[in-house]
Copies of this chain bind each other. A is one copy, B any other.
Amino acid sequence: MVDVAKAAGVSLATVSAAVNGSAPVSAALKGRIHKAIRQVGYKTNAIARSLKTGTTSTIGLMVADITNPFFTTTIHAIQELAHRHGYGVMLCCSDEDADKERMHLRLLADRMVDGFIVASAGETPELRALVEGGRTPVVLIDRLVDGLETDAVVIDNVAATRDAVRHLAAAGHRRIGLITGRRTLSTGRERYEGYRQALEEAGIAFEPALVGSARFGADDGYKAAAKLLSLADRPTAIFACNNLSGIGLMRAIHDAGLRCPDDIAVACFDDFDWANVFHPRLTTVAQPTQAIGVQAMLLLLERLKDATARALPPRVVRLKAELRVRDSSVRPAR
């Protein structure tokens, strides 16, 4: 920039003003300056600017599993919107590990990101400090964390799960199994609650033996499912609380020599492209993944753009998920 100033025969301050439009500059000088910029091949140094302004035009995005299609489309939406507003996205993945998450949050904070969007793997001092510090806006996605008062966008897990299990009950199933996720996560708890509600609604007694627990991951899902399937009086329908355990469930069914939906009905959380093309076509709870990303980024942008919005009380947006009934949950007519 100093070279540009020299080449154009003006002061540093004027060049800065011309580049950023932060102060009036006469047309003549503007012309000279832009010519000089091209001549010198000047590119503004974002680091220096960040140091001075205290903002990096970068947001930190922290997800639990970048390999999961659910997060993937959400990330995509966030990125798209962020870039359109001139923000870069620094991506971190906790692999559902709270310690990794802490490390990455520190990394992001060190890099002075302007804001955070995080799908937390669990409450940590770092996350709490971030939120309570109030210096950097934080938007939670997918998972709420207890006692953390900040913006968030999640779905109505209770209702979504209730709908799905209700659907199974309506099809005549009385022994409905559940493969639940980690109960330390709000999603895990809420989906469990939805299951209980649906059972109660249908007048089915809750039976602890019918709920298997899988931390996230297809292999865990497999084990939990295998256990349910080996029960003497095994369930006639199973709901899996996320897509990975859904995969595990399907594998377990296959390995047990059972057929879906003939021998056992299946539904699971999280829709994906393939669910609709291979067999059995899977009944799923489709989350509005795109909308989650967009909403989260919009909330963040509001806080980022004008200082007054910084002080707004936390807003939590709850979106609705949609039950997509396909073959896996309905026994074929014979």
Chain A contact residues, CB within 8 Å of chain B? 43-48, 50-51, 56, 58, 66-67, 69, 72-73, 75-76, 79-80, 83, 88-93, 103-104, 107-112, 218, 247, 250-251, 254, 272-274, 276-280, 282
Picked from B46, B75, B247, B282, the residue with its CB within 8 Å of the CB of A111 is B46
Number of copies: 2
| A87 (CB) vs chain B CBs: closest residue | B107
Residues of B within 8 A of A247 (CB): 273-274, 277
Instruction: Give bound CA distance, A66 to B277, whole Å.
Output: 21
If over half of A's interface residues share one DSSP class (helix, strand or loop), that class is named, otherwise mixed; here it is helix
Picked from B51, B66, B104, B274, the residue with its CB within 8 Å of the CB of A274 is B274
Instruction: Give bound CA distance, A251 to B44, whole Å.
Output: 49
Across the interface, do B104 and A44 meet the contact criterion of CB distance under 8 Å? no
CB distance from A111 to the nearest CB of B (A): 5
What are 9 A-to-B residue pairs whose CB atoms are below 8 Å?
A46-B111, A58-B111, A67-B69, A79-B91, A88-B108, A90-B90, A91-B91, A218-B273, A274-B274
Beyond the given pairs A46-B112, A83-B107, 5 more chain A to chain B contacts, judged by CB atoms under 8 angstroms and listed by A's residue number, are A45-B51, A46-B111, A48-B51, A67-B73, A88-B107
Residues of B within 8 A of A83 (CB): 92, 103-104, 107
Instruction: Give bound CA distance, A43 to B107, whole Å.
Output: 11
| A113 (CB) vs chain B CBs: closest residue | B88
Known: A48-B51, A58-B111, A93-B79. A279 touches B277 (CB 8 A): no
Residues of B within 8 A of A44 (CB): 110
Residues of B within 8 A of A67 (CB): 69, 72-73, 76
Residues of B within 8 A of A72 (CB): 66-67, 72
Across the interface, do A110 and B51 meet the contact criterion of CB distance under 8 Å? no
Across the interface, do B66 and A88 meet the contact criterion of CB distance under 8 Å? no
Instruction: Give bound CA distance, A111 to B251, whole Å.
Output: 45
Known: A89-B90, A89-B91, A107-B83. A76 touches B69 (CB 8 A): no
Instruction: Give bound CA distance, A280 to B254, whole Å.
Output: 13
Instruction: Give bound CA distance, A273 to B279, whole Å.
Output: 15
Residues of B within 8 A of A107 (CB): 83, 88
Residues of B within 8 A of A76 (CB): 66-67, 93
Instruction: Give bound CA distance, A83 to B58, whole Å.
Output: 18
| A273 (CB) vs chain B CBs: closest residue | B247
Across the interface, do A56 and B66 meet the contact criterion of CB distance under 8 Å? no
Instruction: Give bound CA distance, A312 to B97, whole Å.
Output: 38
Across the interface, do B112 and A45 meet the contact criterion of CB distance under 8 Å? yes
Instruction: Give bound CA distance, A96 to B325, whole Å.
Output: 33
CB distance from A246 to the nearest CB of B (A): 9
Residues of B within 8 A of A110 (CB): 43-44, 46
| A75 (CB) vs chain B CBs: closest residue | B66
CB distance from A149 to the nearest CB of B (A): 22
Instruction: Give bound CA distance, A121 to B190, whole Å.
Output: 42
Residues of B within 8 A of A58 (CB): 90, 111
- Which of A92, A218, A278 is packed against the most chain B CB atoms within 10 Å? A278
Residues of B within 8 A of A75 (CB): 66, 91
| A248 (CB) vs chain B CBs: closest residue | B277
CB distance from A135 to the nearest CB of B (A): 11
| A60 (CB) vs chain B CBs: closest residue | B88
